[in-house]
Structure 1
């Protein structure tokens, strides 16, 4: 009898581990290659200057608004009060701190600095980021409402509603967003504000024309997504609901739309992520969103590499957060 022992099969190396290692290697290689490329450009990096574009401490000077003598200077509860008098009038100035540049009895001219104080302010990029988020959120909400009603009109049996929806969708989807923004701002915006001015009413800021252009643009794409989602539901669902005595509107609201919502959620997320990035086009009509704020910062600081990288990362954070939120909604709807 042979004393040879049976040897079991040797387990191979997990292929997933190999491909993950390849991914890490490629990522590190890409970063290293990019770093090497930047060293060949003779560019001096200034990452330490970036925080001021988010938040900074500004020194605010308090100028005299009249010409006269400083009548009194008082300090109380961390505030400084200065009174300047001339022959006919007096001015009272109050500001925090005790940094006073004048003394009692001294003569000051209009524009002379009486004192100063430090005040925290949001930076240029933070301001642009806030506007981008606000514009995107409002446009998304309006785009959903417009797209929902247009999508329902698109599959309506009423030929008037159907052809209005088709006309709107084809015109908006067939023209560039940049052109639509220009039309809204320079044509429709001018006409609307002129009519309001003649009626003695307030003027609409350019921000809302930008929101309108984005919302209407998104609404056309949302309408097609909604239409496709509704038509993907088996027609028997509607027939069964109608046989139970539901009206068409009730069946659509309680039976069809909840099922369609689960299917259209991923393409809706993609559309809204694109909308956030498309908001960068609003800079052409003097809306200081994130991209325009970055251009202004680059112009004044001459730091294109750092600021444009930072701008890209900020857009990535917004879109990634939205993507995670949509994934959460998908999980909730799947469990429901």
Structure 2
């Protein structure tokens, strides 16, 4: 015979269902309220125009760059090679596909269309998303390395090393990120590129100054997270490791840091999520990350509602994926 569930468990189940139903009702009210408020603004939604900001097909016109006559047209492997001979020399043009607008013997002038083909291109938002992800990943990796060394220096017994770490942390944490980005781009970037130009070396793109500002900003916060994580481990473990003959560096690497890593994962995840969102400030130095790309798209399309909502959703997807990855790491480290 099957056992009947206990009355207490039924009551708990009923309460859980009730609260979930209340949550669903509240979310439905929010959605309906938002939809009603948009209807009061006389705004016409154009969701069907959004796909082109991710990927679109562009029509490319191949135009003549010299005056002359079409000498030969060679077709092979789905493309045509057109050779134009003129008084100033010979030029050739490759046109994918079969849409040619000329034939052999035609006379061409500069700007005449020789052929047309279709080419797929990534949209403005996709381009901005890629740059945001690349900048965030590089900044996070550099921030982790910088924060780890600075956090260890923060608890060092060497007064010089400790003083330098404290100075760096306090300066970075005590000034806004936007100001730091401006200093890196307009002050340090100008000085560095001027010195490189005098030495006859290449110029550093503004993207790397943005990455440097984000990495140094994140490194200061990671350093404090690492310091707090290390100091949360009982001192007796370090003393026990030293009593067994372990050098301090080996004890820190094999005993203290693995335990501290489990404790600092949640605050590290929060810091990196904030860093991804802070990357939107790089638009002030002409880096076309996701927010700047959205702003440009809004300017040309006059669709602020759809594009800004889409921008928010794309940031949410990135941060949610990072959050899920950190939760996975937490489970793996807890099982280890």
Normalised by the length of structure 2, the TM-score is 0.96
The CA deviation at 1:9 is: 6.9
Q: Structure 1 residue 142 and structure 2 residue 135: aligned?
A: no
The CA deviation at 1:269 is: 0.1
Q: Structure 1 residue 28 and structure 2 residue 22: aligned?
A: no
The corresponding residue for 1:5 is none
Question: 5+ unaligned residues in a row in structure 1: which ranges?
Answer: 1-7
The corresponding residue for 1:196 is 196
Alignment of 1:234-249 (within 5 A): 234-249=234-249
Provide the rounded CA distance (Å) in 1 between the counterparts of 2:202 and 2:109. Answer: 38
Provide the rounded CA distance (Å) in 2 between the counterparts of 1:300 and 1:311. Answer: 16
The CA deviation at 1:247 is: 0.4
The CA deviation at 1:327 is: 0.2
The corresponding residue for 1:263 is 263
Partner of 2:19, secondary structure, is helix
Residues 68-109 of structure 1 deviation map (CA, whole Å, 9 limit, x = unaligned): 111122322211111111124100111210111223222222
Provide the rounded CA distance (Å) in 1 between the counterparts of 2:301 and 2:74. Answer: 40
The count of residues paired between Structure 1 and Structure 2 equals 329
Which region of structure 1 is more displaced relative to structure 2, 316-325 or 85-94? 85-94
Q: 2:66 touches 2:88 (CA, 8 Å); kept in 1? A: no
Partner of 1:203, secondary structure, is coil
Q: Structure 1 residue 286 and structure 2 residue 286: aligned?
A: yes
Aligned residues: CA RMSD: 1.2
Partner of 1:259, secondary structure, is helix
The corresponding residue for 1:128 is 128
Alignment of 1:212-223 (within 5 A): 212-223=212-223
Q: Structure 1 residue 51 and structure 2 residue 51: aligned?
A: yes
The corresponding residue for 1:74 is 74
Partner of 1:162, secondary structure, is helix
Provide the rounded CA distance (Å) in 2 between the counterparts of 1:178 and 1:63. Answer: 45
Provide the rounded CA distance (Å) in 2 between the counterparts of 1:157 and 1:25. Answer: 58
Normalised by the length of structure 1, the TM-score is 0.96
The CA deviation at 1:18 is: 1.1
Question: 5+ unaligned residues in a row in structure 2: which ranges?
Answer: 1-5
The corresponding residue for 1:3 is none
Q: Structure 1 residue 39 and structure 2 residue 64: aligned?
A: no
Residues 129-148 of structure 1 deviation map (CA, whole Å, 9 limit, x = unaligned): 00000000000000000000
Provide the rounded CA distance (Å) in 1 between the counterparts of 2:67 and 2:100. Answer: 17
Residues 154-213 of structure 1 deviation map (CA, whole Å, 9 limit, x = unaligned): 000000000100000000000000000000000000000000001000000000000000
